[in-house]
Amino acid sequence: MLDKKLLRLTNKGIYCEQADVYFDPWRPVDKAIISHAHADHARKGMKHYLCHDHSAKIINHRLGKSNIETLPYGKSTSINGVKFSFHPAGHVIGSAQIRVEYKGEVWVFTGDYKTEKDFITPSFESVKCHHLITESTFGLPVYQWEEEVILADQINNWWKKNVAEGFNSVIYGYSLGKAQRILSVLDSSIGPIYSHTAINHINELVKSNGYQLPETKPIAGANKADIKNAIIVCPPAMREPAWMRKVKPYRTAMCSGWMAVRGAKRRRNVDKGFVMSDHADWKGLNEAIEASGAENIYVTHGYSTIFAQWLSEKGLNAQPLKTEYEGETNDSNTDE
């Protein structure tokens, strides 16, 4: 597919032969450039990692102490004549699009990205390029997101209504990204905010990088009697964990782009679904691709075949690319 080109697909990941580096590889390699710290992009076993400043601590926390070099947004580094730089992807804190330049040819590997602004994640910045490797997690026109202020209202109103009816509110979001975003929209005058241990760990790391988050109490040591009118932010779990017993009575909500479709919400068996995603929606994907000015588009994880066909019909040179990234997993029971 991408053979003989500056970047090409191998069984270990997307590879730049000239610099001998891989992008978010799924098998152990010597040198990996990492777009962000989610588990399907930052994997164990690389001899050397290059990532954005704000991903480093999280990768160390998750994968154990690793050999990591960091770079801020907009600064570049060269390897064997190939210039690499990071640019905000708006996906989660520390997420970056990776720009690659060699002899005047520019490639961008988006990793995961979101074009809609939120209250905490550095906003997506469009990068001009000739070749764009884009994700397509929500590459169907049925996926259209609301603005963050509207989502914030929806979530706070749900919480308020639960308080009025005597329920606690349990809200699910992945511990890196969604959890911080949920916290950033909560109106702490409604009631106390609790969070799960996995989220607290990430929160501490995020705060140490200078981000502001509201105070939360750990749900782990809390007393049943104290948990009133509360909202509890926690990673999604397939089964009800033991601590949820002390939160009763409660209502549950899931924050995910998949919640746009009723069937997905019913499958999760939550009371409420908030359509909150860390990925670009249909409009966002199309706008990002247009803004990049790229003529060659390689579509990775998501509805890659469908989305590539759509782009081809619009006159772009687009093709699907089979990677092992998972995007926003639909039914994940792990924390990513």
Partner 1 sequence: MKRFAQLIDQIDQTTKSNDRIKYIVDFLHDVNDEDKLWFVALFSGKRPKGIIKTSLIKEWIVEITNLPEWLFEQSYHVVGDLAETIALLAPDQPKKGVNQDTLSKIIFELNTLKDKGENAKKQFVKNFWLTHSKAENFVFNKLITGGFRIGVSQKTVVKALGKFLDKEDNTISHRLMGNWNPKEVSFYDLLVSEDANDDNSRPYPFYLSYALEGKIEDLGDPSDWQAEKKWDGIRGQIIKRDDELFVWSRGEELVTDKFPEFNELKENLPNGVVLDGEIIGWKNNAPLPFHNLQTRIGRKTVSKKHLEDVPIRLIAYDLLEFNNKDIRQQSTKERRNLLEDLVKTNASDTLLLSDALEFNHWDELKDIRLRARELYCEGLMLKKKYAPYGVGRKKGDWWKWKVDPLTIDAVLIYAMRGHGRRSNLYTDYTFAVWDNEELVTFAKAYSGLTDQEFKEVDRFIKKNTVDRYGPVRSVKAELVFEIAFEGIAKSGRHKSGIAVRFPRMSRWRKDKKAEEANTIEDLHQLLNVYGG
Strand partners, 51: 70
Nearer residue to partner 1 within complex by CB, 189 or 269: 269
Nearer residue to partner 1 within complex by CB, 64 or 249: 249
What is the rounded CA–CA span in Å between residue 168 and residue 190?
Answer: 11
Smallest separation (angstroms) from partner 1 to the CB of 285: 13
**Does 154 contact partner 1 by CB under 8 A?**
no
Q: Considering CB under 8 A, how many residues would be counted as binding partner 1?
A: 27
Smallest separation (angstroms) from partner 1 to the CB of 310: 6
CA Rg, the chain, in Å?
20
Smallest separation (angstroms) from partner 1 to the CB of 10: 18
Distances (CA, A) of 199 to 55, 217, 235, 292: 15, 11, 7, 34
Smallest separation (angstroms) from partner 1 to the CB of 265: 8
Going 113 to 116 to 122 to 123, the CA torsion angle's sign is: positive
Site for partner 1 in 219-278 (CB under 8 A): 251, 258, 260-267, 269-272
Region from 10-18, 112-120, 139-147, 217-225 binding partner 1, contact rule CB under 8 A:
139-147
Nearer residue to partner 1 within complex by CB, 208 or 333: 333
What is the rounded CA–CA span in Å between residue 33 and residue 185?
Answer: 31
Binding track, positions 276-315, relative to partner 1; x by CB under 8 A: ---------------------------x-xx--xx--x--
Residues of this chain that interact with partner 1 (CB under 8 A) are 140-144, 251, 258, 260-267, 269-272, 303, 305-306, 309-310, 313, 330-331
